[in-house]
Structure 1
Amino acid sequence: MQAILAVTVPFFALVLCGYLAARQRVLPEAAIPGLNAFVLFFALPCMLFRFGASMPFAQLINPALIGVYALSAVVVVLFTVAVTLRRADGRGVDTKNAAFGALVAAFPNTGFMGVPLLVALLGDKAAGPVIGTVLTDLFLTSSLCIAIAQAGPAADGAPHDSVWATVLRSLRGALSNPLPWSIGLGAALAASGLELPGPVSQVIKMLGDAATPVALFTIGAVLWRAGQHAHSRTPVGQYLPVALIKLFVHPLLVLGIGVLLRAAGVPMPEFGLMVLMLAAALPSASNVSLLAERYGADNGRVARIIMASTVLAFVTFSLLAWGLGVGRG
């Protein structure tokens, strides 16, 4: 456990630093979008580009592992919507908010936190399975949840676009994200056998090295900002159960589906399945609160789910890593 805490404590401490810096106005709120843009468009793509260029494509994209993770994400989404959707007795939330609650239940913070954390815990070989989860969440999980959100009645009674139009818009949004392109460009460079010129490689290395600390600091700042812009006070019963689904149900589903597929004869690398479990046990992605705000969902509820999952994950993630034998040899 000491070896695990030696990695997790600094990671979560940097998140706390970002939160406190924003809360105490040391970091102006107007600077938070700039930090987020630096991580999303410069630092993190360079880090993922380097991972993509450093390993064989088969290790980067494993269909069996992606299948396990994709199936578990779909089940988590449908389960969360089912248990949180407003019932006949009036309890629960509407379709749009059930969908965005499902998105934070199924979408871990793999980009900003998961890739560097799991690589720090398990080594560079963990990057392949984690990158597979990033691609799955960008293209499948987010598209599915936005489609469900748009399937419900609009607040003003206006008709929504068709499901296919919504899915296509979501996919276009995923394709505008620089992370998949950076992974693909790295893999293409590795397949070509070419090398980047020294100065270019050094710039990419410097930006990639900045990704981890700045991304973690930004998570904390974004969490504070999301709380400040929340438009409602959310009862504990509407956000804590969803955070617990994220931290407990999601990784257990990954394990269960992986074990079932292995029993059915599907080749399932043990190490890769462990990485998927740890990725699923990460807190919810912090930028979902911005997406919820854009679509007119209750971003206060989403922000509280993310905050609760982030606070609790320090304990739950560390215990899961210890239970899986990480750091014991």
Structure 2
Amino acid sequence: MLELLLALWPLFALIVAGYYLRRWEFPNEAFWPGAERLNYFILFPALLFSSLATAPLDNPALPRLGLAVMLALGIAWLALLLLRRLRGWRAARFGAFTQGALRFNTYLGLAAVASLFGQEGLTLAALMLALMVPTVNVLSVWSLTAERGVSARSLLLPILKNPLILACFGGALVNFSGLGLPGGTGRLLGLLAAASLPLGLFCVGAALKPEQLGGEIPALGWNSLLRLLAMPALAWAVAYALHLPATESTVLVLFFALPTAPTAYVLTRQLGGDSQLMAGLITLQTLLAAASLPLVLMLLAL
């Protein structure tokens, strides 16, 4: 338990620091959008690319891990569709609830995996991201536009242009080609990757909006419990059924126990969803994850 807390508390300390830095307007308000873009388009892809380019991809558990990811997401999606039918949610709210339940904070997830499992964990996480990011993005866009329809091009084009997806597939191609990262390329990507996680956690904190927590406490509460407790329980059940090894199971459960992604707010606003509800979900889940994430991992270790 102590080792787990020692691995996780610095991550949440960076999130808190990011919140107060933005609140104190340091360095200034214009810094944060640029920092997010730098991380999203350059630093974070460098981490994913380098992790997969040099990873041992002959792990026999990897196909089962991929199956576990898709199976858990599929079960969760069917449950959300049933809830929508029972509750009669409009797309604006259903899209926010879907993202609150299915999307995940990638920066926090990779930082936690790196602290707990090092390079081996980062490799597993990068492979999971290659499956989870496009799937969750498609489901998020569809849920926000279900009432007015959306074309296949609108669903697929953002995925094909997503720098995280491109980095994952690029790294895998380099790995299978046997080229490796020669001539100092690995060192360059390593330097860029080293900056991605702390900057990403600062940006997570900067995106928090505690003022959005009022008004819809029941909705915020049940969706947060679904994301932070029910989703990791589902992931554990799937991992158990598929007999995943311990490390793969833990990484899977960890990613399903993460709070929702701050970028969900941007997508919700762009597609006419309930952005205030989405902002509240992002903030509450991130705050609660400081307690729920260590709890889930501790129970997993028993």
Equivalent residue, structure 2, for 1:283: 259
Aligned-pair identity in percent equals 25
Task: Check 1:259–1:289 CA distance in 2 against 1; reply closer, same or farther (3 A cut).
Answer: same
CA contact (8 A) 2:49 2:171 kept: yes
1:316 matched to 2:292? The reply is yes
Q: 1:2 to 1:193 in 2, by over 3 A?
A: same
CA deviation string 1:253-303 (max 9, x = no partner):
1111232344xxxxx333212210111111111111111111111111111
In structure 1, distance between residues paired with 2:218 and 2:103: 20
Does the 8 Å contact 1:234/1:300 carry over to 2? no
Q: 1:236 to 1:27 in 2, by over 3 A?
A: farther
Instruction: Write the letter of the residue equivalent to 1:242.
Output: N
Matched with 2:195 is 210
Question: Residue deviations 1:111-131, cap 9 Å, x none?
Answer: 212112112112221223322
Corresponding residue of 1:96: 92
Q: TM-score, normalised by structure 2?
A: 0.91
1:257 to 225, 238, 247: 238
Match status 1:295 vs 2:271: yes
CA contact (8 A) 1:54 1:190 kept: yes
Letter aligned with residue 127 of structure 2: G
Distance verdict in 2 for CA 1:223–1:190, change over 3 Å: same
AA of the residue aligned to 1:130: A
Give the TM-score, by structure 1 length: 0.84
Query: Which residue of structure 2 aligns with residue 238 of structure 1?
Result: 219
Structure 2 Cα separation of the partners of residues 254 and 57 of structure 1: 22
Query: Is 2:53–2:181's contact at 8 Å kept on the other side of the alignment?
Result: no
1:81: Cα distance to partner? 4.8
Give the deviation of 1:84 after TM superposition.
5.8
CA-CA distance at 1:96 after TM superposition? 2.9
Runs of 4+ in 1 over 4 A off after TM superposition: none
Instruction: State the Cα distance separating 1:85 from its structure 2 match.
Output: 6.4
The structural deviation recorded for 1:134 is 1.7
Aligned to 1:177: 162
**For the Cα contact (< 8 Å) 2:98–2:143, is it kept in 1?**
no
Contact map agreement 2:130 2:168 (CA 8 A) in 1 = no
Partner in structure 2 of residue 248 of structure 1: 229
C-alpha contact 2:11 2:111 (8 A) present in aligned 1: no
Residues 120-139 of structure 1: pairs in structure 2 closer than 5 A: 120-139=115-134
1:168 equivalenced with 2:149 (yes/no): no
User: Match for residue 68 of structure 1?
Assistant: 68
Gaps of 5+ in 2: none
- Indicate if the aligned counterparts of 2:44 and 2:193 stay in contact, CA closer than 8 A: yes
In the alignment, the residues of structure 1 paired with residue 59 and residue 96 of structure 2 have an alpha-carbon distance, to the nearest angstrom, of 32
Deviations 1:39-91 (A, max 9, x none): 11111111111111221234499232122122212322332454366847xxx
Change beyond 3 A, Cα 1:84–1:221:
farther
RMSD of aligned C-alpha atoms? 2.4
